[in-house]
Structure 1
Amino acid sequence: MRANIAIATFLATSLSFVSKAFAAPDPNFHIYLAFGQSNMEGNGPIESQDRTVDKRFKMLATVSGCNNRQAGNWYDATPPLANCNGKLGPVDYFGRTLVKKLPQEIRIGAVVVAVAGCDIQLFEKDKYRSYQQPDWMRGIVQQYGGNPYGRLIEMAKKAQQEGIIKGILLHQGETNTGQQDWPNRVKGIYENILNDLGLKAEDVPLLAGEVVSSAVGGQCGSHNAVIQRLPSVIKTAHVISSQGLQHQGDGLHFTSAAYRTFGERYAEEMLKILGDVQVVGKTTTTTTVKTTTTKPVQPTNPSNCWSLALGYPCCVGNDVIFVDESGEWGVENNNWCGIVKAPACWATALGYDCCSTNVCRTVYYEDNDGKWDVENGQWCGITSANKLC
């Protein structure tokens, strides 16, 4: 009996330690990933107004050594955000605008990886090794361990331990000016990011900025016609206009004032996408759904998604609205959907749910009980029904 009490005490203490040491992500901490070349790296001179920032806007250092920062640690988001070669860029005032306009409980985090002058190939995880880097670029790439895409994913996973990824920002294209396959290559990178991080496109839009416009003397302005095709290739892509934004005289890089405006434009588009942002844990929302008056009937051809036989999809969520002899029903997109019962959940005995199976799972922690991921701001147990990312 004493041994059993000791074991129980040890397990309770261990679980308490795990809960404290590995706190669930804060759903009110919105994370944005950003990648690209020099304009995303930031090329605008940093002025006095740029050196202070609201502490609700944080950046996760993706390289070590800049301003005594260490990769993988959070800091106030003062420029440079990308690497030691960067200056002021669009993400600076993207984040500042969001914290200014969102509820005070919402914090913003940025994870920026960018390499001046790089071809889109440098972010293609199956092709970056064959990219012929000019000598001057090698030092920048090495700041990211030789693999900028890999560093972006590595740091994004660290960020997911603290908050929720809400969007991906892109500014790249000057080096690929006129290449008609650029949108499809961007699509491949975007999909790789989503898959590698267990994200869904509908939850994480892509915001891509135009290059310096030909109307103001941009050297690569013709590429804007290619960038504008992104939403036809990626349904969740949004193009941010560079109209009227001035350059520094080189036809390539925006002025500091233009970067500030550009960042605000990115933010305004993101705010439109987000809509009415609610603070999780602070505000309760009521959703009205339309229900059918026809009661579902017994399925004649049950399968894993048993409700398909009745002409209804299976639910993504698990909120039970109605129960009959067929099973449990929910409502999504104003339509009935069948709830597929999950396999036995080993985590229940520990006070946790098991992870849903609608997305691939990332193992953030593993102990003697099993493997753990995070869902809706809480730990969840990974079962054999889950696909790992």
Structure 2
Amino acid sequence: MLRISCWSRIFIASSLWLASGVAAVSRVHADPPSDRPVTNVSETVPAVPVDSDRFHLFILAGQSNMAGRGQVTDADRQPHPRVLSLGKDGNWGLAVDPLHFDKPAVVGVGVGRSFALAYAERHPGVTVGLIPCAVGGSSIDTWQPGGYHAQTQSHPWDDMQSRVQHVVGQGVLKGVLWHQGESDSNDSAAAVYEARLKELIERFRSTFEEPQLPFLIGQLGQFAERPWNDARRAVDAAQQRTAQHVARTAFVSSDGLTDKGDLTHFDASSLRTFGVRYAAAMQWIESRVPVKSFPPGDGNPRNSEGDFVRLASGRMLYVYTRFESGTSDHASATLVSRCSDDMAATWSDDDVTVIENEGDMNVMSVSLLRMADGRIALFYLQKNSLTDCRPVVRFSTDEAKTWSEPTKIIPDAQQGYYVLNNDRVIQMSSGRLIVPVALHRSPDQADPDWHGKVGCYYSDDDGIGWKRSESLLIGRSSDGVRVKAQEPGVVERQDGSLLMWVRSDQGTQYQSSSSDGGCTWSSLQPLALSSPLSPASIERIPATGDLVAVWNDHSHRDVPSSVRTPLSLAISKDDGETWSRSIPIAADPTGWYCYTAIDWADDSLLLAYVAGRQGQGRELTASVITQLPLAEIYSRLSIAGN
């Protein structure tokens, strides 16, 4: 029997996913389109959809490799009835190469047509409208109002804007395909390229009043016989950083693509493949759109952190905190649930109360755990006062239909204001339960200690009795100054030890480790996850054994910031010693994202996080669920150079 490792399955799935797009394009090249046959392009009037929502428009912008210089074959002239292109005259026609007209003597195959064929294949019933606007040799400076390109005597930005505005009312503008940077691969232009690229993205979005307009950035050609200079490497790095930290952008790799013999332009075969990669990048952006959001409403100003558990029936249960009297952490709240019967694709419409507000202030911060004995454990904070906030646990033996009475994890003798974040409790391979907490106030303290002390409680009898770590950790900087240590989490390493991570105010997460199941812990040290004072979430990926981290990655910021954006994802293949480059999950520069729960639905990563806007009382408002295909995560990380 052929045995395939979990990692191989992910790799194969990713490869098949990309190959399926190539195959789809090949089928369209080789066979008549399935929608209806088209025999003579010049005599055919294309069908522009009456329903504008079914006409998806894409701008093709940049310089010659977007315009296309590949040799055209008969296959490139084979039209598809649902793939149109805007001609130089401003009229729609069936899309056949060449699409562009910037330099009529040399235009040829580009990325646009193969992108559109792959996109149409994945969007049945949708017609794709390509708007060719690329100008060979244009620098990024010419892509601004009034910018002039002397070689073609054109105004790239102004001409593009005019063409788009002429037709945008006929459909829905869905994205920009950008390939450019060769003309900026000199020291002076490369030094400011990142700033200008970000300005360009914002200009596209503001001009067409589409603040979430996807922007796909194609990588410059990597031709062995023409090594990159420092300036070209700087442009490439700027493009990758932009895709890493600007919302709704993606970087499209040129790995393995070849030139047409001039060491400048991709050949036709590579451009067709490149177009399929652009389509894959577009699919990745589409996959990051939340599948469900629970926004606030009347008498419900905040929906907050939660956690998932899969029931024996296959149903996915999500329990989260519903606040009722205000947005403060101390406002009254209950625990409510939603459920999904289709692996998190859709969710029920109405809240079902799980735990009433049994605390004098509230209940909040849920961790759900499928225990080794089959029971489901529900952990949450029971907040009675500013000196009595402690986690409790209930158990269910009937798949979350009913729950036991709550068991206190922290005894009255150790009463205090403790914080247990959502989705934090784990059961080790030994069976030990670990509850990581931060202590911020004891009854004998006049004021809260928001610098915090962190540790854990553990149970070796399935949650009946609990013990505390021998000591609680205090965070200190390298020069001995006390630093904030809050909202800890834990994960079991492959060797059975525990990794604890802690949010701090030092521009990075902090970490500690335990080799005795949480009884004792090493001193807190910086962890290689740059962040503001904001929580991270780390769990092991069952299919690969790697660790995945979700947090606010601030590694790109030159100046420290407190904002909780972007929400990013990275993978560690060595149990947290090192981490891949991050990819953004949500990256609105005015957004606020935190308190993530991590689970798995088939071959996808399932996330729930709190989303809001920057501003007092607006940061923590909605509970959001999103689902990301695991194969695509690994594919995107590979594309980013991991």
Is this a same-fold pair by TM over 0.5? yes
Q: How does 1:1-389 map to 2 (within 5 A)?
A: 26-61=52-87, 63=88, 70=89, 72-83=90-101, 84-85=104-105, 86-103=107-124, 105-126=125-146, 128-129=147-148, 133=150, 137-138=151-152, 141=153, 146-178=154-186, 179-200=190-211, 202=212, 204-215=213-224, 217=226, 222=233, 223-232=235-244, 234-275=246-287, 289=294, 295=300
Q: Structure 1 unaligned segments of length 5 or more: list them.
A: 1-22, 64-69, 278-285, 298-308, 313-320, 322-332, 338-389
Instruction: Note closer, same or farther for the CA distance 1:218–1:158 as it changes in structure 2 (3 Å cut).
Output: farther
- State the TM-score, normalized to the length of structure 2: 0.36
3-state secondary structure, aligned to 1:170: strand
3-state secondary structure, aligned to 2:61: strand
Whole-Å Cα distance in 2 between the matches of residues 335 and 268 of structure 1? 26
Instruction: Note closer, same or farther for the CA distance 1:161–1:262 as it changes in structure 2 (3 Å cut).
Output: same
Amino acid aligned to 2:80 = D
Q: Is the 8 A contact 1:216 1:246 kept in 2?
A: no
Deviation sequence 1:212-242 (CA, Å, 0-9, x none): 1154645566342332222256333211000
Whole-Å Cα distance in 1 between the matches of residues 612 and 158 of structure 2? 41
Which gives a bigger RCO, structure 1 or 2 (Cα 8 Å, sep 6+)? 1
Deviation sequence 1:330-380 (CA, Å, 0-9, x none): xxx98899xxxxxxxxxxxxxxxxxxxxxxxxxxxxxxxxxxxxxxxxxxx
Write 1 or 2 for the structure with the bigger share of strand: 2
Amino acid aligned to 1:188 = E
Instruction: Note closer, same or farther for the CA distance 1:232–1:101 as it changes in structure 2 (3 Å cut).
Output: closer
Deviation sequence 1:30-78 (CA, Å, 0-9, x none): 11111111101110011111011211000112x2xxxxxx2x1100011
Instruction: Note closer, same or farther for the CA distance 1:25–1:159 as it changes in structure 2 (3 Å cut).
Output: farther
Q: Structure 2 unaligned segments of length 5 or more: list them.
A: 1-48, 303-324, 329-349, 351-608, 614-642
Whole-Å Cα distance in 2 between the matches of residues 158 and 123 of structure 1? 18
Q: Is the 8 A contact 1:77 1:92 kept in 2?
A: yes
Whole-Å Cα distance in 2 between the matches of residues 91 and 336 of structure 1? 36
Whole-Å Cα distance in 2 between the matches of residues 79 and 267 of structure 1? 18
Whole-Å Cα distance in 2 between the matches of residues 255 and 157 of structure 1? 32
Whole-Å Cα distance in 2 between the matches of residues 243 and 199 of structure 1? 31
Runs of 4 or more above 3 Å deviation: 214-221, 286-297, 309-312, 333-337
CA RMSD of superposed structures (Å): 3.4
Deviation sequence 1:123-172 (CA, Å, 0-9, x none): 1215x14x6x2xxx23xx3xxxx322112111111221210001111000
The equivalent of 1:373 in structure 2 is none
- In the TM superposition, what is the alpha-carbon distance from 1:107 to its structure 2 partner? 0.9
3-state secondary structure, aligned to 2:199: helix
Identity of aligned residues (%): 26
3-state secondary structure, aligned to 1:54: coil
Q: Is the 8 A contact 1:33 1:167 kept in 2?
A: yes
Write 1 or 2 for the structure with the bigger share of helix: 1
Q: Is the 8 A contact 2:56 2:129 kept in 1?
A: yes
Whole-Å Cα distance in 2 between the matches of residues 192 and 25 of structure 1? 28
Amino acid aligned to 1:175 = S
Deviates more, 1:174-183 or 1:286-295: 286-295
3-state secondary structure, aligned to 2:69: coil
Bigger CA radius of gyration: 2
Q: Is the 8 A contact 1:291 1:335 kept in 2?
A: no
